[in-house]
Amino acid sequence: MKKGNVMQQYEAAKERYEEYGVDTDAALRAMDEVEISMHCWQGDDVTGFELSEQGMSGGILATGNYPGRARNAEELRADYGKAFSLVPGKQRANLHAFYLETNGKHVDRDAVEVKYFENWMQWAQELGIKLDFNTSMFSHPKSEAGYTIASYDDGIREFWIEHGRRCRDIAEEMGKRQGSPCVLNHWMVDGSKDSPVDRYDRRALFVKSMDEIRARNISKDYVLDAIESKLFGIGLESFTAGSGELALGYAITRDIMLTCDLGHFHPTESVADKVSSVLQFIDKMLLHTSRPVRWDSDHVVLQNDETMALMQEVVRADALRRVYIALDFFDASINRIAAWVIGTRATQKALLSALLEPQKMLLEAEREGDTTYRLALVEEMKNMPANAVWDYYCEKSGVPVGMDWFGEVKQYEKDVLLGRD
């Protein structure tokens, strides 16, 4: 799209929104303050860089064989950089612990250290972005029985507790160096395929182990711990130790963040509806935007009803400084860089649309009991020229407008990805 057309359409959209008391410039300033944490595991199909033949397990499954998967950290960082260059704003990179670099040395999960992430931290500094981190308690011989920190086996449990401790040490160093708290997400595979008799003691072990992982006090200036629940996983359909109730209770009583993933609840549950409830009791929360299709299948995020509703609730709660947003999906059937760009831009578009809501008019109508006008106004907003505002945001951020980014991805595929074995 020509530059003049983008500006012209933005000015027209700005006037339209002003009729409803919406300041589009203020919405774009708010967008600049939001950093979305782009997940590393989209770039290599959740393989990681451990020197191990262990396959994916714990309900993790990437399907497809599109050419160009990143085979090492250097390739992943190059692909990451390309994706970052095609989305507006300044985003973050979200790492899992098994994306360490060891120079050919086998390092098990209970021995991960800061030094194995030095290249990642240097890269982030050069790119001017921040890092977030995750424990990797799945796809490992010591998780094959279905349990990690809720295992009856003292040795297995201590192995994963030590892994969690070391991940907190790594996250702390990241937070110190980048001058911004590193969000550390804790998700465990723990559960069983069939219904167990002992649920209580399993969950007691889970809580005790989490307390041991977090025994060392670390300033929230450096690390923001978050605990993520899940309804079920492949092979873990009947019982999950880290259920929604357990994670919520733990987050409230330990003063840490709760992670809500769009695919980790029953299909009839609305994650959007949880935002206003959780924030009554917890200072901050982490959202994983994904797209479940009948189950936690982690499809690429779209600007669909679920994503729109989630961002609307965050904005309506005036919680942009209390809610952290990360992506969590992986699709090996399509261009992996395109998947990053589509998912990030879809999340951003949903957020921008929420920021362009005429909140004052909607609230006034609701509080006066005029639900008819409220409904009419909500419906009218669906066809407002939000895309013209989005195009302007992309242009002023120096990234491709509209579908122009796709040509760059296909050229990168031709020049780089297709040359990989």
Report pLDDT for 234: 82
Give exposure, 227-260, as e/b (b: 16+ Cβ within 10 Å). Answer: bbbbbbbeebbebbbbbbebbbebbeeeebbbbb
Q: What is the pLDDT of residues 115-126, one digit of tens each?
A: 999 999 999 999
Q: What is the pLDDT of residues 171-191, one digit of tens each?
A: 999 999 999 999 999 999 999
> Domain locations in the chain?
33-356
Angle at 287 (CA atoms; ends 39, 49), nearest 5 degrees: 20
- pLDDT of 64 > 60? The answer is yes
Q: What is the pLDDT of residues 34-63, one digit of tens each?
A: 999 999 999 999 999 997 665 555 556 778
Query: What positions carry a catalytic annotation?
Result: 187, 228, 230, 261, 264, 288, 296, 298, 328
Q: What is the pLDDT of residues 220-262, one digit of tens each?
A: 999 999 999 998 888 888 999 999 999 999 999 999 999 999 9
Neighbour-count burial of 61, counting CB atoms closer than 10 A to its CB (0-12 exposed, 13-18 middle, 19+ buried):
middle
> Poorest-confidence range of 2-16, 69-83, 130-144, 201-215?
2-16
Please name the fold of domain 33-356.
TIM Barrel (3.20.20)
Report pLDDT for 412: 97
User: What is the rounded distance in angstroms from the CA atom of residue 110 to the CA atom of residue 74?
Assistant: 24
Query: For 271, phi and psi rounded to 5 degrees?
Result: -65, -35
Provide the token pair at 56: 């994916």
- Give the type of residue at 11: E
Q: What is the pLDDT of residues 340-349, one digit of tens each?
A: 999 999 999 9
Residue located via tokens 């723990």: 190
Task: Kindly list the distances between the CA atom of residue 116 and the CA atoms of 2, 99, 174, 349, in Å, as whole numbers in the listed order.
Answer: 45, 9, 12, 35
